[in-house]
Amino acid sequence: MMQISNDPASNKHSLLNVMHRFMAAANNMDETIMVPSLLRDVPLEEQANNNYEEPRFPSNKQMDMYEHYLLLKSIKNDMEWGLLKREMSSGASFLEIAVKQEEQQASVKGELPVEDNADLEHQFHYHLRGLFGVLSKLTLQADHLTNRYKREIGGGNFMR
């Protein structure tokens, strides 16, 4: 008989562990950054010539550290409290909107709608891989933002 461990920490590659790492990094960021307004107008990437490789933050416009802090905090809150209703006028939740958009994209590509698609396991694994990748990148970004804040305010010797 196969035994399943009730301790999610026993498997470092579990979704719960990846989620906990992001939440811990976001909480650390939130606890460290006591004055978020100091992050305003500070470029996200440093201009220094050092050997430290900073994570790249792709976007259409240049975000400052404050905007990125708010983004990470918002994602953390969505994970912690669930998906709130985003479109009050239509009453549709974010999840319902996302499913509808995915169905529309599938019909444009000529794929079968989600209800008719028998390969739910494939869809699950595809989205699970994406979630792992996104949460891992968000964790790195939260850690980077925390460490960068410490360097900006002169607390770099306390970096973890």
Ordered by start, the domain boundaries in the chain are: 14-43+57-158
Mapped onto helix, strand or coil, the DSSP state of residue 118 is: coil
Q: Are 134 and 75 in contact (CB under 8 A)?
A: no
In this prediction, residue 113 carries a pLDDT of 55
Q: Check: pTM over 0.75? Answer yes or no.
A: no
What is the C-alpha separation between 39 and 13, in angstroms, rounded? 33
Q: Are 87 and 98 in contact (CB under 8 A)?
A: no
pLDDT value of residue 143: 97
**DSSP per-residue string spanning 33-63:** -S-GGGGTT-BSS-----S--PPP---SSPP
Q: If the chain, 160 residues long, is cut into consecutive pieces of 10 residues, what is the mean pLDDT of each piece?
A: 54 89 97 92 68 51 87 92 56 61 68 63 93 96 94 62
